[in-house]
């Protein structure tokens, strides 16, 4: 196996990085792929609770790096999907415990073992972010249709391009179609105009995401959830499938934008 390493990042905190990683990982694994997700937020561990695996942690990524355990021992198997694993962040250390070359080394080992490595980047553009993108083959930038989140996404996109990571793809999270219709929220088209990168999916605002997080059950496992459907669609697009953008995902005129743009 040769895994694809994908990092999800955003610049601004609280836009849904961890939720996206949990849901994309679940969607890919439910489809038969072998997936490892890595919590890149050393000191502020969260992916474990979002995935509902907080009670199973013995070792973490710093234990792997500092040689206290083997890679396999720190891979926590998901309770629902046998081909899904989590490597948690260390909670009592800070980001200086990991270096970009450590991440490259861990991912190099994982590449032989699995199909996908998804890395949950911390907010910001400092050490933890640099660690998280070091090993990435591709990067997904996630944002919300709000001025502060879009501005920070633009900064991160600029840094990724300057670091030679190529142009990332965009996840627009928590879009409220009713507000977009009233022109009280930036539409997907607006955000694409501003950021000028390729869209990989739009996730509608959905209270089910909070309910799912409360229980440690990512919504991508719920066949009726609209946000879950959007995450499943993104997972399929990550695999290279052509999945049409749902109407509820987009605003007016998005179709022509998507197909008029070849970049």
Question: What's the Rg (C-alpha) of the chain?
Answer: 17
Query: In the window 200-219, what residues touch other proteins (CB under 8 A)?
Result: none
Under rule CB under 8 A, residue 187 binds other proteins: yes
52-90 as b/e: b if 16+ CB within 10 A: bbbeebebbbbbbbeeeeeeeebbbebeebebbbbbbbb
- Contact between 190 and other proteins per CB under 8 A: yes
Q: Does 151 bind other proteins (CB under 8 A)?
A: yes
Stretch that binds other proteins, among 8-16, 118-126, 189-197, 207-215 (CB under 8 A): 189-197
Q: Least distance (Å) from other proteins to the CB of residue 198?
A: 11
Considering only the stretches 22-30, 45-53, 60-68, 194-202, report the one whose residues sit in contact with other proteins under the rule CB under 8 A: 194-202
Map tokens 């005129």 to a residue: 253
**Residue 78 DSSP SS3:** coil
Cα distances (Å, whole numbers) of residue 151 to 115, 133, 161: 33, 19, 16
Between 153 and 182, how does the x/- string for binding to other proteins read (CB under 8 A)? -xx-xx--x-----x------------x-x
Give yes or no for a contact between 125 and 10, defined as CB atoms under 8 angstroms apart.
Answer: no
Interface positions with other proteins (CB under 8 A): 146-147, 150-151, 154-155, 157-158, 161, 167, 180, 182-187, 190, 193-194, 196-197, 263
């Amino acid at each position: 196996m040769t895994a694809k390493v994908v990092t999800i990042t955003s610049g601004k905190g609280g836009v849904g990085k961890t939720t996206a990683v949990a849901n994309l990982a679940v969607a890919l694994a439910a489809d038969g792929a072998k997936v490892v997700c890595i919590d890149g937020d050393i000191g502020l561990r969260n992916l474990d609770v979002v995935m509902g695996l907080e009670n199973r942690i013995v070792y973490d990524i710093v234990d792997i790096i500092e040689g206290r355990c083997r890679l396999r021992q720190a891979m926590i198997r998901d309770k629902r999907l046998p081909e899904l694993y989590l490597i948690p962040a260390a909670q009592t250390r800070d980001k200086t415990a990991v270096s970009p070359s450590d991440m490259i080394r861990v991912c190099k080992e994982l590449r032989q073992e699995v199909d996908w490595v998804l890395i949950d980047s911390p907010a910001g553009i400092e050490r933890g972010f640099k660690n998280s993108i070091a090993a990435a083959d591709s990067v997904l930038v996630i944002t919300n249709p709000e001025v502060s989140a879009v501005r920070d996404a633009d900064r991160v996109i600029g840094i990724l391009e300057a670091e030679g990571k190529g142009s990332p793809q965009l996840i627009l999270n928590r879009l409220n179609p009713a507000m977009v219709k009233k022109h009280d929220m930036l539409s997907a088209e607006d955000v694409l105009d501003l950021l000028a990168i390729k869209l990989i999916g739009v996730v509608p605002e959905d209270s089910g995401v909070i309910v799912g997080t409360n229980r440690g059950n990512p919504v991508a496992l719920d066949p009726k959830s609209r946000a879950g459907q959007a995450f499943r669609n993104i997972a399929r697009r990550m695999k290279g499938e052509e999945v049409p953008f749902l109407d509820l995902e987009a605003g007016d005129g998005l179709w022509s934008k998507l197909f008029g743009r070849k970049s």
